């Protein structure tokens, strides 16, 4: 087959949704349009048509990728009018943390539907900035309702860590995909995330595969330099996190050595390595529409078959690198923020507190928070209390809103939800999880100790507060776990 008739292979992402394994990413549009720059939308839409005609007919974008949804709307409209190539559209909804009523969710999705000019979005991926705000569960339930209505074909998430992806799945939310950073530089997604996804039928969509273009011949042997496009600025932070420019060079050299064995480019080998990861359905490669395209080279990825010698060579180079900290998506939620700006300033003005601290009348130096439960005033307790530098958090269960039990039957999901609630409680009173000096865990079933303890370990691994773990035989309602915490604010 000639280069022009070859197309990227396809895969079934979810029932009724077949995609190209090489997805074309449009975050780059936001960079091309930044600081008031103007991208010619008509030309960009024509470029999208060229991608689609060549079989690169699956596009990834988001509500905040500049005019990407509008350009796509223009391209889709022309395709309908002129009988042009069909396309599959993934977009994302990334709202600021706050109440997620059914109307809020509908309005968020409707904006994308309008900009795209479609009745249904093929894959709507949800991003959430902090799990201390529990409203992500309301948002997911709202998205599930819109899916029932036919406005969304499939629901995905992006940058969810394994614990919260599992929580959603165990809570009964139909999540088809998780879009995460996955590359030869950032291999976190090959760990627990892949194990969970493979066991639960969730597919991974990988981005950052070419580190914004740093994983190419152009940078092999090059001196480090300042970058001015958002994508390279972002992945330069990943390079620092794995050990710096010399470590990147070691990995580039290994990619080149493997590429030489197959007559392939560095980009081909880097992409092939990610595509070979068993939980990965597709790789998203960013495109600078109207500027440059790399389709012919990227198609050659599918000629490469990595053998044991190749893998050993790559593994030796990987051994020179440090692991990116935490789990998938942590780079958006805690330092080191591995974003273009190094913080969230491109995305959010501030993250509002979940609870509001109130002074306790007649008790100077004492503050408390209420969660809004009708029982707190009736029974005479607070969600948490601060006295001087001490914060005491009440026994906390996985209760969402006014009484929904999160993850019935799943102790790990309940523990994760509880730990986020404790973190939000401590934060509202001026502390952080680092200040926690004691936790107590109550279990209904002693046999649940391990998943709950592992969840506790993920939050408190380095902090190591004193802990008590007890089986108490029964907890009120459908709860399998309850936890309380005590912190001393030292900062």
Ligand X SMILES: NC(=O)c1ccc[n+]([C@@H]2O[C@H](COP(=O)([O-])OP(=O)(O)OC[C@H]3O[C@@H](n4cnc5c(N)ncnc54)[C@H](OP(=O)(O)O)[C@@H]3O)[C@@H](O)[C@H]2O)c1
Positions touching ligand X (CB under 6 A) are 25-28, 60, 158-159, 179, 207-213, 216, 231, 265, 267, 284-286, 288, 292, 294, 297-298
Q: Residue 310 corresponds to which tokens in the numbers above?
A: 């190749």
Is residue 81 packed enough to be buried (19+ CB in 10 Å), middle (13-18) or exposed (0-12)?
Answer: exposed
Smallest distance, Å, CB 212 to ligand X?
A: 5
Smallest distance, Å, CB 399 to ligand X?
A: 30
Please identify, using beta-carbon distances, which residue of 305 and 378 lies nearer to ligand X. 305
Please identify, using beta-carbon distances, which residue of 79 and 284 lies nearer to ligand X. 284
Distances (CA, A) of 298 to 25, 235, 293, 329: 13, 20, 10, 26
Smallest distance, Å, CB 3 to ligand X?
A: 13
Please identify, using beta-carbon distances, which residue of 159 and 367 lies nearer to ligand X. 159
Q: Using CA atoms, how far apart are residues 204 and 174, in angstroms rounded to an integer?
A: 15
Please identify, using beta-carbon distances, which residue of 109 and 206 lies nearer to ligand X. 206
Sequence-distant (6+) residues with CB within 8 A of 321 are 185, 242, 243, 247, 250, 251
Helix residue ranges, H only, 201-265: 230-242, 245-262
Please identify, using beta-carbon distances, which residue of 173 and 289 lies nearer to ligand X. 289
Q: Using CA atoms, how far apart are residues 96 and 51, in angstroms rounded to an integer?
A: 32
Please identify, using beta-carbon distances, which residue of 9 and 395 lies nearer to ligand X. 9
Please identify, using beta-carbon distances, which residue of 135 and 209 lies nearer to ligand X. 209
Residue appearing with tokens 């926690």:
436
Smallest distance, Å, CB 55 to ligand X?
A: 16
Smallest distance, Å, CB 325 to ligand X?
A: 17
Sequence-distant (6+) residues with CB within 8 A of 259 are 265, 266, 268, 269, 304
Residue appearing with tokens 């799945």:
169
Q: Using CA atoms, how far apart are residues 293 and 71, in angstroms rounded to an integer?
A: 17
Q: Using CA atoms, how far apart are residues 472 and 446, in angstroms rounded to an integer?
A: 9
Smallest distance, Å, CB 160 to ligand X?
A: 10
Distances (CA, A) of 176 to 64, 162, 186, 459: 22, 14, 22, 26
Tell me which residue has its CB nearest to ligand X: 25
**Phi first, then psi: what are they for 349, rounded to 5°?**
-75, -45
Please identify, using beta-carbon distances, which residue of 272 and 386 lies nearer to ligand X. 272
Q: Closest Cα partner for 25 from 253, 213, 167, 241? A: 213
Smallest distance, Å, CB 188 to ligand X?
A: 14
Please identify, using beta-carbon distances, which residue of 342 and 395 lies nearer to ligand X. 342
Triad 136, 138, 143: Cα angle to 5°: 95
Please identify, using beta-carbon distances, which residue of 135 and 271 lies nearer to ligand X. 271
How many Cβ atoms sit within 10 Å of the Cβ of residue 435? Answer: 22
Report whether 219 contacts 248 (CB < 8 A): yes
Residues comprising the chain, all counted: 491
Supply the Cα-derived Rg of the chain in whole angstroms: 24
Smallest distance, Å, CB 43 to ligand X?
A: 16
Residue appearing with tokens 């309380």:
484
Smallest distance, Å, CB 251 to ligand X?
A: 14
Smallest distance, Å, CB 408 to ligand X?
A: 30
Please identify, using beta-carbon distances, which residue of 33 and 482 lies nearer to ligand X. 33
Report whether 424 contacts 450 (CB < 8 A): no
Smallest distance, Å, CB 372 to ligand X?
A: 32
Residue 331 DSSP class:
G
């Amino acid at each position: 087959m000639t280069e022009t008739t070859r197309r990227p292979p396809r895969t079934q992402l979810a029932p009724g949704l077949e995609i190209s394994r090489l997805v074309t990413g449009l975050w780059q549009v936001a960079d091309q349009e930044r600081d008031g720059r103007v991208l010619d939308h008509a030309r960009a839409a024509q470029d999208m048509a060229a991608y689609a005609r060549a079989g690169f007919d699956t596009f990834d974008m988001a509500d905040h990728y500049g005019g990407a949804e509008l350009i796509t709307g223009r391209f889709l409209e022309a395709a309908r009018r002129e009988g042009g190539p069909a396309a599959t559209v993934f977009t994302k909804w990334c709202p600021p943390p706050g109440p997620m009523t059914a109307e809020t969710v509908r309005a968020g999705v409707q904006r994308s539907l309008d900009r795209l000019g479609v009745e249904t979005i093929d894959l709507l991926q949800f991003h959430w900035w902090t799990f201390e705000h529990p409203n992500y569960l309301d948002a997911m339930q709202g998205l599930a309702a819109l899916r029932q209505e036919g406005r969304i074909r499939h629901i995905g998430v992006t940058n969810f860590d394994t614990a919260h992806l599992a929580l959603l799945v165990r809570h009964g939310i139909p999540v088809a995909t998780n879009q995460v950073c996955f590359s030869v530089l950032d291999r976190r997604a090959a760990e627990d995330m892949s194990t969970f996804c493979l066991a639960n039928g969730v597919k991974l969509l990988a981005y950052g595969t070419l580190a914004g273009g740093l994983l190419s011949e152009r940078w092999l042997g090059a001196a480090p330099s300042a970058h001015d496009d958002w994508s390279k600025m972002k992945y330069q932070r990943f390079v620092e996190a794995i050990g710096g420019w010399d470590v990147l060079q070691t990995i580039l050299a290994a990619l080149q050595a493997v590429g030489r064995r197959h007559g392939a480019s560095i980009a081909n080998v880097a992409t092939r390595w990610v595509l070979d990861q068993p939980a990965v359905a597709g790789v998203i490669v960013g495109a600078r529409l109207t500027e440059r395209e790399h389709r012919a080279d990227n198609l050659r990825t599918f000629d490469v078959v990595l053998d044991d010698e190749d893998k050993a060579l790559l593994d030796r180079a990987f051994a020179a690198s440090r692991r990116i900290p935490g789990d998938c998506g942590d780079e958006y939620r805690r330092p080191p923020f591995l974003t273009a700006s190094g913080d969230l300033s491109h995305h959010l003005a501030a993250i509002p507190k979940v609870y509001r601290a109130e002074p306790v009348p007649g008790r100077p130096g004492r503050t408390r928070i209420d969660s809004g439960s009708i029982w707190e005033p009736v029974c005479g307790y607070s969600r948490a209390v601060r006295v001087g530098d001490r914060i005491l958090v009440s026994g906390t269960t996985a209760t969402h809103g006014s009484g929904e039990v999160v993850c019935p039957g799943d102790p790990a999901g309940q523990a994760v939800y509880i730990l986020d609630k404790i973190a939000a409680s401590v934060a509202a009173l001026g502390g952080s999880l680092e200040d926690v000096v004691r936790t107590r865990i109550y279990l209904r079933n002693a046999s649940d100790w391990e998943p709950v303890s592992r969840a506790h370990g993920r939050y408190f691994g380095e902090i190591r507060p004193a802990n008590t773990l007890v089986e108490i035989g029964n907890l009120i309602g459908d709860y399998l776990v309850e936890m309380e915490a005590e912190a001393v604010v030292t900062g």
